[in-house]
Amino acid sequence: MRKYNLKYCIAIFFLVFTACEKNLEKLPLDEISSEVYWKTTNDLKLFVNQFYPTAFNVSGSDRYEGIFAADLESDDMVHVQEMPRLQGSRVVPATGGWNYVPIRGVNYFMANYQKCQSDFEEYKRYVGEALFFRAHFYFELVKAYGDVPYVSIPLHTDSEELFNGRTPRNQVVDSIIADLDKAIEYLPAGKQEGGTRLNMEIAQLYKSRVCLYEGTWEKYHAGDVFKAANADPQKYLQMAVQASEAVMQSGSYSIYTTGNPQWDYFFFGQTEYANNPEVLFWKKYDLNLGVGHARQFQIATGKSGGMGLTKSFVESYLCSDGNPIYNSDGSFNALYQGDGDLISTTKNRDLRIKQTIFTPGFPLQVIGGDTTYFVRPSVDQPAHTVNPTGYQINKTLNFDPVHHKSLDTHADGFTGWILFRFAEVLLNYAEAKAELGTLTQSDIDISIKLLRDRIGMPNLVIANIKTDPNWQFPDLSPVINEIRRERRIEFIGEGFRWNDLARWAAADELIAGKRPLGAKFNSLDYPDLSAGDFSLTNGYFDPLKSRMPNGYGFKIGRDYLNAISIQELTLNSGLNQNPGWE
């Protein structure tokens, strides 16, 4: 009976795959015949084209844009409603869960591409793209589920491999790395199609990301239920260094700067990145093709989409002298002006703070010669536009009102979305070296210094790091704390933070039992509002105070990974559930 049910489910699985392929200018998968397809380089290109929107589905018509909103599952951002993962309120799903549809598509490609009658040198880049995508899809599964069944051939309803158990996570990662190594070999170097198509350096950056993730996961989860069998974190950290170093030494990319530190970090709301030296890969939007997004409407009308930055995140910005807001004895840095209001909070700080957080008088829209300015955070707006913390993000803003017409359409914006940038290469390199214990000042000078130079901040000098009593990881070395701080600030709103907390096993320190606070309510920023109308703790916005009085209910032994659905466990007795979900 189980075999019959499995066949039924796999049949549906294939139909879903076929349905997803319409409008892709190619034959549906179940109609592709070697007699008419797989003959030309263009056949291969058209086939791999389908994986781009699947792999990089960063935003769309939803007000809560994908990558941007991903940081809600962290200590950096908060929503008016608590995130289920952080609250520990998720349950084992009855159906669904891991998705192998795109993986089967790549495997089908790999089983057929050699039928192409063109010269391999002509079409090998598309083989490289397919391998990159398979690596990407499996990496997403590993991050979500840990051990997952690994399949590299197209299966059928009677394939014995359908009943395989879960492959250990690091074996899957080794297969991911093998695919990326081949992708690096096959893909062309330098920007392709203005940075909208994969290239060798993107695969190298991605390899550094995968290896840094697995290396630190194995290192920091070594003593808990999520530990990897036969762990070898050093191996992956060394590969992370090598992969990021390859991009750095290529000379193809550099940190974007015009020499204006007041504005040079503020480049995330542009419509075009083809000539940006920092951007390896980005998603282009075109309203003429019906491809737009709503992020600009949410940000440029002074609304906030129900999202706000946290007090913890804002306090992580260094002062302009390169030191934290607190001295080692707990007193304030003399440059720090306190957090009594938004202007004081951002004064004498790392200039990225003003290019990330709205302050009164910051431009919102520029129409001809007229400029509309930000007045105050939207703390009193309805839930879908409210800023719940008083710290409202301006990153990704474009001043042109053509992008922010109507909430009803949700898709008037056509600013580009950066997916891979050189800053990550530098930070992956520095962190991997620090974790290996081989980081030198020379390494800092070719990585973190470049990011700080952009905004006129002093370099990080390993020998002169001042103790911060508010370091999030006081048991780790000062330089690892500072590299993690740099990563936190540089990548806010780019979807990195949860993955970082997960691989560092940091939710017990930063999430469980914690409740996020926001800015201080004050009469200067809010002369028209009353403190009695808001949920506050010690004068700070406390938006989830009534919803979770005891802080987040994140379950340390469970919530780092997702549950496998009941359906999957029923169909395949060779599977076992993730820890804590039994």
pLDDT at 430: 99
Q: Which two tokens stand for residue 386?
A: 């409210």
Q: What is the mean pLDDT of each run of 10 residues along the chain (582 residues)?
A: 36 37 40 76 97 79 58 95 96 94 97 97 98 98 98 91 94 98 98 98 98 98 97 98 98 98 97 98 90 78 82 98 97 98 98 98 91 95 90 94 67 89 98 98 98 98 97 98 98 96 97 98 96 97 97 98 96 95 94
Q: What is the pTM of this model?
A: 0.93
CB 543 within 8 A of CB 78: yes
Q: How far is CA 277 from CA 256, 258, 274, in A?
A: 6, 11, 8
pLDDT at 518: 98
Q: Which segments within 75-118 are labelled E, that is strand?
A: 77-79
* Helices 120-145 & 169-186 angle (0-180, nearest 10): 160
Q: Residue 30's CB: how many other CB atoms inside 10 A?
A: 10
Q: Which two tokens stand for residue 374?
A: 């930000």
CB 405 within 8 A of CB 424: no
* Helices 200-220 & 233-250 angle (0-180, nearest 10): 150
pLDDT at 68: 66
What 8-state DSSP symbol labels residue 205? H
pLDDT at 369: 85
State whether CATH 3.30.56.10 applies to domain 1-55+98-187: no
Q: Residue 19's CB: how many other CB atoms inside 10 A?
A: 9
pLDDT at 306: 87
Residue ranges covered by each domain of the chain: 1-55+98-187
Q: Which long-range contacts (CB under 8 A, 24 or more apart) does 510-513 make?
A: 510/75, 510/312, 510/472, 511/75, 511/86, 511/552, 511/554, 512/551, 512/552, 512/553, 512/554, 512/555, 512/556, 513/550, 513/551, 513/552
pLDDT at 473: 98
